Structure 1
Amino acid sequence: MKKLLAFLLMAAPAFTSVAQTTVPTPEVQIKAAVLAAPADKRDGAAVYGYTGDGTLTLLRKGTNELICLGDDPKQKGFNASCYHKDLEPFMARGRALRKAGKSGQEIFDTREQEAKAGKLKMPKNPTTLFSFSAEEDDFNKTTGEVKNGYLRSVVYIPFATSESTGLPLKPDGPGLPWIMDPGKHNAHIMINPPKSASPAK
């Protein structure tokens, strides 16, 4: 979970060894990034990835409601995510704050305050994020193929609670949904299937 949260707060911190980092081609980044999306959403999703100097950039414009973030080549392992476009203000704010050097707690507190004040626009309807991850050796940076991947889902329902949804505060069993950060701007339903049941893309 910590790795997922760190990924969602991604930005472009100072690069100390960019020249030694292998950045896949835009085509490979797009191919791998959309593996996080449902199959029928992949062709139309917008995709963000990285340039050779580590800058996050739009690699492909989208024609549907999903935005995908490709794997950060600086980070160990593979991690891509796709989320509903209504989450973009929330995600973009997190990236901007991280780039400004804010800590995870500072980012959370700032977005909480801004959301409550109406300054940060949060989705009015439940919106989904899909996260797809794998070990470093299971991601082929030349072909974009990923083996033994793990797919999990998050449904954002800002300010919802256990009482308003009927969801437990922790999972009652493998793969069962539960609510995290209830009552907060980023309240969300976690759905983590058993790894043995997660499809390898």
Structure 2
Amino acid sequence: MKQLLIVLTLFGVLMSCNSSDKKQPKTEEPNTKTIETNSTSENNQKELVAINTDEALIATALMAAPKESRDKCKVIGYNMAGEFITLREGNNEFIVLADDPKKPGFNAACYHKDLEPFMARGRELRAQGKSAMEIFNIREEEAKSGKLDMGKPGSTLHIYYGKNETYNPKTSMVEGAKYRYVVYLPFATAESTGLPEKPISANHPWIMNPGTHRAHIMISPLPEDNN
């Protein structure tokens, strides 16, 4: 009887140890991963802040310009007080238009200075309350008559845009923002350029508004995480 009790006791101890060993990894590993994931997510969120100062407007707007040209770009646009002003002077070939803080989302642009008469005329007509179609027709007539200078063929517009309104102050990158490029070729057509009038696929160039003063090549790069 005594030997039987000893055997039963040893058997119980072994079963208890095996059960403990099997359960241990299942409870620790998921908890460790959860803590790491939550910590990373919290750190990313802490890096993003609202674009709510003139300095932030300038920094994020410059992301629309080529990296090697940002230091000398002129920056214009609405400040936080709602005034359209020169936010920063510059002396190279680019003019940067900052995001309008009063509008939802984010949209900054950088264009060659030769396009300024065309861009400025559009802003002037919008300030007068003209609709998009009215602006198009007025500038079309003025460009055809020679009154409106459209700049040199091939002048470019760089657009940096997205739906979010937060950015990383260390990098000036806007959360989720993407790029689009426009190359202006006034009165060009599909026949004169060899480009299609509709995009064939993502990341492919095509010509928009062919045959008009606003004829331009559209180029929409794939997001970096899709490359």
Task: Quote the residue 1:57 is aligned against.
Answer: 85
Tell me the CA shift for residue 62 of structure 1: 1.3
Q: Structure 2: which 5+ runs fail to align?
A: 1-49
Q: CA deviation at 1:144?
A: 4.9
Corresponding residue for residue 108 of structure 2:
80
Name the SS for the 1:152 alignment partner.
strand
Q: C-alpha deviations, 1:113-167, integer Å up to 9, x for none?
A: 00001110111231110100122244469x9541221001000011111111111
2:72 is paired with a residue whose SS is coil
Partner of residue 181, structure 1: 209
Deviation at 1:49, TM superposition (A): 2.7
> How high is the TM-score relative to the length of structure 2?
0.72
Question: Deviations for 1:76-129, whole angstroms, at most 9, x for unmatched residues?
Answer: 011100000000000000000000000000000000000001110111231110
Highest Rg: 1 or 2? 2
Distance 1:76 1:162, change over 3 A: same
The residue that corresponds to 1:104 in the other structure is 132
Identity of aligned residues (%): 53
Contact (CA 8 Å) 1:138, 1:147: kept in 2 or not?
yes
Out of 68, 91, 114, which is 2:142 matched to?
A: 114
Show the counterpart of 1:170. Answer: 198
How far residue 197 of structure 1 moved from its aligned partner, in angstroms, is 5.2
The residue type paired with residue 145 of structure 2 is A
**Which among 179, 187, 190 is matched to residue 218 of structure 2?**
190
Of 92-101 and 187-196, deviating more is 187-196
- Bigger drift between 47-56 and 94-103 goes to 47-56
Name the SS of the counterpart of 1:30 in structure 2.
helix
2:118 aligns to what? 90
Runs of 4+ in 1 over 4 A off after TM superposition: 196-199
Separation in 2, partners of 1:38, 1:91: 19
Q: In the superposition, relative to structure 1, how do residues 193 and 47 fare at CA in structure 2: closer, same or farther (>3 Å)?
A: same
Query: Which residue pairs with 1:133 in the alignment?
Result: 161
Distance 2:121 2:165 in 1: 32
Tell whether the 8 Å contact from 2:164 to 2:174 is kept in structure 1 after alignment.
Answer: no
C-alpha contact 2:164 2:175 (8 A) present in aligned 1: no
Q: Which amino acid aligns with 1:61?
A: E
The answer as to whether partners of 1:151 and 1:198 remain within 8 angstroms in 2 is no
Q: Which residue of 1 aligns with 2:186?
A: 158
Aligned partner letter, 1:167? L
For 2:58, the aligned partner's letter is: I
Q: Answer 1 or 2: which has greater helix percent.
A: 2
| CA RMSD, Structure 1 to Structure 2 (Å) | 2.2
C-alpha separation between the residues in 2 aligned to 1:138 and 1:148?
A: 9
**Corresponding position of 1:38:** 66
Structure possessing the higher relative contact order (Cα contacts under 8 Å, 6 or more residues apart)? 1
Alignment CA distance shift 1:111-1:85 (3 Å): same
SS state of the match for residue 131, structure 1? Answer: strand
CA change 1:188–1:148 in 2 (3 A) is: same
- Distance change (3 Å), C-alpha of 1:169 and 1:197: farther
TM-score by length of structure 1 reads 0.81
State the Cα distance separating 1:196 from its structure 2 match.
5.0
